[in-house]
Chain A
Amino acid sequence: MAEGSNLEHLIEREYKAGFVTDVEQESLPPGLSEGVIREISRKKGEPDFMLEWRLQAYRHWLTLREPTWAHVHYPPVDFQAISYFSQPRKDKDRPKSLDEVDPKLLETYEKLGIPLREREMLAGVAVDAVFDSVSIGTTYKAKLAELGIIFCSFSEAVREHPELVRKYLGTVVPQSDNFYAALNSAVFSDGSFVYVPKGVRCPMELSTYFRINAANTGQFERTLIIADEGAQVSYLEGCTAPRRDENQLHAAVVELVALDNAKIKYSTVQNWYPGDEEGRGGIYNFVTKRGVCRGANSHISWTQVETGSAITWKYPSVILQGDNSVGEFYSVALTNNYQQADTGTKMVHIGRNTRSTIISKGISAGHGQNAYRGLVKVLKSAQGARNFTQCDSLLFGNRCGAHTFPYIEVKNRSAQVEHEATTSKISEDQLFYCMQRGLSREDAVSLIVNGFCKAVFKELPMEFAVEAQKLLGVSLEGAVG
């Protein structure tokens, strides 16, 4: 930024979700072994196939090494120092309804702006709330059930709908996919499960709110969404965690399956605790998200706003298998202070006339490091495939970094693939223009940054878009002089 401008005065950044909820927790002691996995499975009352599946993943995980190719740097994670299961003690006997949920937990979500009581809810959003390792309640279940839509915690799905879980689990992200996916497959605790039957358009937004509360725990949730033929669903997830000086690991897996003519829209506002301005603490967000457009004319769209976490490592991807299927990835990733993000997508074109669009906006401030990493792969079978990619980076200050690492692999000559990327900073001319029109410097920056991100924000459901804009404002505070 311009010399002489007051760069530092807003540096102290407020992480508004940094409080700790004081509930009695029941956790497994730290460490990972077959015994721990058996214990997790036992606590959750899982059928045998699930335990076997976990153990298989664990044995494979033991043969893997942590990946080091991403543009992120951190001390090695001690996987034996993490507790792999934690739940509020009172929750042990599982609440039958939201009324039985510990009022302190409900309060937590109220504070986060996520009301779980249906009568107080924003109309048209059903919420599954995951607190540390377990789901503490899902709203609007009955109403959705009338349409045949299953929306419940993953644990419940394993017990109540084992045939669906068995049919689809691991078919998009195999246990052996990568280091963190294997770890997740072995120890995943809870998450959300959605099944939308043939021809049904889900009438409301489905939403999961993830909260890490306990110290020294890892969160390993698993989400599986299936849109059967002609079905449509829009799903949102939000994430927060308390402010702690230690780094905590979050290694989730999300699998999406879209059959013929189905459409899944998956939106994320990720605001895990990012660490303090010295880079202490914060969540390591190592996530594997992938969707498969299995059917013809199917459509999967990822939208993400990543403002939290000390380190983000995630590549929500789409396998475009069905003819005429469409994959989209819209991303805003912001790194301030010492945050690091290495994020992007993979679009794998297999079917004919498959199309993909990638819009990525990276914002780097402070000492933040922000990398876009993306793969566009057009296989020989993908006659007429199209991809358009636009990656833009915005830098604040000269201690941060913005990096672009696309991989483009094309084996079909009828394909058209285009990638564009730019890097810029907010110009003094733009700021001056806005300020001359009466805006404060902060408001001018906010205006310009929101304009920069507009192509992504317009993909978010309305309530989320507003939240995302606010979040961006908060996250950038102090970055601008």
Chain B
Amino acid sequence: MSTVIDRSQADFHRLAGFLPGHQTPWIADLRARALARFAEQGYPTPREEAWKYTDLAPLAGKHFQPLATRDEVVARVAIDDYVLDPQWPRLVFIDGYHVPALSMLPAGVSLAPLAEVLAQSPDTIKPLFTASDEARGFAALNTAFMSDGLCLRLTPNVVLEQPIHFIHIAHGGARPAASYLRHLVLAGRGSRATLIEHYVGEGADAKAGALTSTMTQCVLEEGAALEHYQLNEQGLSVYHFSSVHVHQSRGSRYVSHNVQAGARIARSDLHAVLAEPGAQCVMNGLYFGRGRQIVDNCTFIDHQAPHCSSRQIYRGVLDGESRGVFNGHVMVRQDAQHTDAQQMNSNLLLSDDAEADARPQLTINADDVKCSHGATVGQLNEDALFYLRARGVAAERARAMLVQAFAADIVSHMSAERVRMHLDALIAARLGR
């Protein structure tokens, strides 16, 4: 472990003078404090409850280096495969840095690469950096090294008709690259928007791989609505760590669609605080494992105020020797009377060597609540499979149809049709048409 810490410290000394915002003392301090916190423990280990099922030992021997500046980015990357809709405004990033030539920024919206904001007007976003940023582990590492990202500020009552499509490509060029992305979303009172975070790319090569660490901070003011997609389709040599923190005010609505279909290890943390009455939180998750993938979902929904609701459905499809983890915690604080919280996790095991681990957790400290959770692990329904085959559908196709149907519970809730089509195609391709 010490080597990971040593390497991180060395990288930090090398890069500190280049990272965006380095001229601003509070940013430099924030980064230094975060690195110090990371250095206390290094990467999390399975001894921690939250990392019980994911061992990061394979990472220890690898040195993923962040690029020092945008100039190092290799910009010759074809993005056509990743563009879900050419009409959508988009920001394209490679290895942690924004590539303006590939992006298409919308007019009239306060949307900018984070590096720009950190360099030019850092104090406008200072309140969005909270103590949790320097907590430890990947959050600390991300805070120390964050190079760029997306900064979206919606003024009150603004409604964005089209989704904003953020694309990050792990490219890597000549060496294994680490990308540390940070996104800030401030949704002003009554505003509405859709954000699609999309992670792709294979890294430098299959052997070297790449590391993508991303953190998103969402603040929803009164009555704001955010539909937030995270699509991870990175290559099987990439290590992907994402975490999202959401803070919800009165009557706001946050909807997450979290799809983990890529990376050697994909870890997704989702943390929502329902701080004021009437807030609604929806978390839909869909994860696919194949080969030796590990997909680890960790969610925490913190009901702090009365009359809030949360709905959570996570579904996993696990093939090969993959392991899928759902670790979801719903906390109802003492003041959160009239909470309505539902949580459901279902898993399909498609192969003899796949594994599903489910930990749905409820911590309830208020009595007038409606809370339930459930978890299932099973296989495709043999009777349904036979029925389809008896109607002439080939076995492979019948399996794909049933998996699509299983996923439909998540996919059908997505309002972006292009994303739904993209996922149907992804499943069909995975299971063989």
Q: Interface of A with B (CB < 8 Å)?
A: 1, 69, 378, 380, 393, 395-425
Contact = CB atoms under 8 A, between A and B. Distances in A.
Contact of B355 (A396, A411, A420): A411
A415 B365 contact: no
A417 B367 contact: no
Contacts of A400: 365, 367
Contacts of B110: none
Contacts of A422: 371-372
B364 A410 contact: no
Contacts of B356: 408-410
Contacts of B369: 395, 423-425
A403 B363 contact: yes
Given A410-B356, A410-B357, A416 B377 contact: yes
Contacts of A411: 355
Contact of B358 (A396, A412, A419, A424): A419
By Cβ-Cβ distance, the 9 closest A-B pairs, closest first, are A413-B349, A395-B367, A408-B358, A423-B371, A410-B377, A404-B362, A417-B377, A419-B375, A422-B372
B361 interface: yes
Contacts of A423: 362, 364, 369-372
A266 B122 CA distance: 66
A413 B352 contact: yes
Most chain A CB neighbours (cut-off 10 Å) among B366, B368, B370, B377: B377
B162 interface: no
A403 B364 contact: yes
Given A401-B365, A406-B360, A417-B375, 5 more contacts: A403-B362, A406-B375, A414-B379, A416-B379, A422-B372
B337 interface: yes
A255 B429 CA distance: 52
16 contacts: A395-B367, A400-B367, A404-B360, A407-B358, A408-B358, A408-B359, A410-B377, A411-B355, A413-B350, A414-B379, A415-B349, A419-B375, A420-B374, A421-B373, A423-B371, A425-B367
Contacts of B49: 69
B347 A410 contact: yes
B334 A395 contact: no
A420 to B, nearest CB: 5
B296 to A, nearest CB: 13
Contact of B368 (A69, A404, A417, A425): A425
A406 B49 CA distance: 13
B157 interface: no
Contact of B377 (A1, A397, A408): A408
Nearest to A371: B363
Nearest to B349: A413
Given A408-B359, A410-B347, A423-B362, A399 B378 contact: no
B120 interface: no
Contact of A417 (B351, B365, B376): B376
B266 interface: no
Nearest to A377: B357
B347 A401 contact: no
A393 B363 CA distance: 11
Nearest to B318: A413
Contacts of B352: 380, 412-413
Contact of B363 (A401, A414, A420): A401
B376 A419 contact: yes
Interface string B321-361: 00000000000001001000000000101111011111111
B364 A398 contact: no
Nearest to B339: A423
A421 B378 contact: no
Nearest to A370: B364
A419 B357 contact: no
A408 B364 contact: no
B98 to A, nearest CB: 42
A398 B372 contact: no
A211 B29 CA distance: 61
Contacts of B374: 418-421
Contact of A420 (B347, B372, B377): B372
Nearest to A69: B49
B355 A409 contact: yes
Given A406-B359, A408-B356, A396 B367 contact: yes
Most chain A CB neighbours (cut-off 10 Å) among B354, B359, B360, B367: B367
Contacts of A412: 349, 352
B311 to A, nearest CB: 15
Contacts of B357: 407-410
Contacts of B354: 413
A424 B377 CA distance: 25
Nearest to A416: B378
A406 B367 CA distance: 21
A372 to B, nearest CB: 9
Most chain B CB neighbours (cut-off 10 Å) among A378, A412, A423: A423
A403 B365 CA distance: 8
Nearest to B347: A410
